[in-house]
Amino acid sequence: MPKSKRLLALMMTVNRKRKFTVKELAQEFEVSSRTILRDLQELSELGVPLYSEVGPHGGYQVLKERILPPIAFTEEEAIAIFFACHALRHYAYLPFKTEASSALSKFYNYMSGDVRDRIDQMKNRVDFLTPPRHAESPYLSILLDGAIDQKVILIDYESREGISIREIQPIGIYASNGLWYCPAYCFLRGDIRVFRCDRIHSAIYAASATKPMDLRHIHLGNKELLNKTEEEEVILHVELSKEGVQKCEAELWSVSKLHIRDNDTGWLDGSIAKSDIHFFAKFILGLGNEATVKSPPELVDAMKELIAEIMANYK
């Protein structure tokens, strides 16, 4: 195998392995241990962050912030990746904002001149708009790390009832309409709750004796599996016009409740917790004449109360 090809294959191998020895690599590449040592030295000089451990169980490892091996992209693939990353600029807060900016700069600068010219021509012709928000969400990184590492996090959280101290175990984070949300198991409520990240005023790893739950099998796509509290529920049924359907399609919670007819009208149908009635009252009022509530009567009453409060401001 030519040296250049072996170095590329070696770079991909050491990035894939958590730990390795010179002898293992020599056997895998069918070269001498001395040759592998020289190759590892060259990889280190190229920027691959290797470090060695001495002793009977020693060997080589690649640091966590390792450099990925070269990957060949077509021109269209490169442009697609650039704009996927470029779209993140609309978010003032990201769990990896600095890294995303650095990656985008590297990606752009290492492209050929004609590809950069094409990207420059496209920048003002294609975009993925996100509503600008002034809300601050500075704790996205610790929430995401907590979800990945199965950690309990202590937060100061502001809700309608005021600021409270909570111990939570995040499941993940997601952005919707320019705002960030964190579904998490709340040890205070004993159930899954969705926290607005801009309402989290502090977040640190909990120093208490609260034991993390095993939530490795729970993620954003199946978080409902963890709901344990048997909260009283009511049946929701709301008729929707075409425009009402379109507005509901933009809401993540509507996925399991929204039904669409052949003429593009539709309806919302499903069970909701009684504690969520206030949320649905505000949302459906925002739809105006594009939605008509059929049930539950508690939702209609909540909407009437909100309308009365609004009217009181104009007396």
Q: Return all residues near 77 (Cβ < 8 A) that are at least 6 apart.
A: none
- Calculate the CA 69 to chain-centre distance: 25
Can you tell me the distance from the alpha carbon of 153 to that of 140, in angstroms, rounded to the nearest whole number? 12
Q: Which amino acid, one-letter code, is at 255?
A: V
Please tell me the predicted confidence (pLDDT) of residue 70. 64
Can you tell me the distance from the alpha carbon of 40 to that of 100, in angstroms, rounded to the nearest whole number? 29
Please tell me the predicted confidence (pLDDT) of residue 55. 59
Report, as ranges of residue numbers, the positions in the chain whose pLDDT lies below 70.
18, 54-58, 63-72, 227-231
Please tell me the predicted confidence (pLDDT) of residue 295. 95
Strand partners, 202: 156
Can you tell me the distance from the alpha carbon of 168 to that of 145, in angstroms, rounded to the nearest whole number? 13
pTM: 0.69
Please tell me the predicted confidence (pLDDT) of residue 13. 84
Q: Percent of the chain scored above 70 by pLDDT? A: 93
Please tell me the predicted confidence (pLDDT) of residue 178. 87
Count of helices and strands (H, E) across the chain: 10, 12
Cβ atoms of 61 and 18 closer than 8 Å: yes
Please tell me the predicted confidence (pLDDT) of residue 113. 85
88: burial class by Cβ within 10 Å (0-12, 13-18, 19+)?
middle
Three-state SS for 158?
Answer: strand
Three-state SS for 67?
Answer: coil
Q: Return all residues near 199 (Cβ < 8 A) that are at least 6 apart.
A: 157, 158, 159
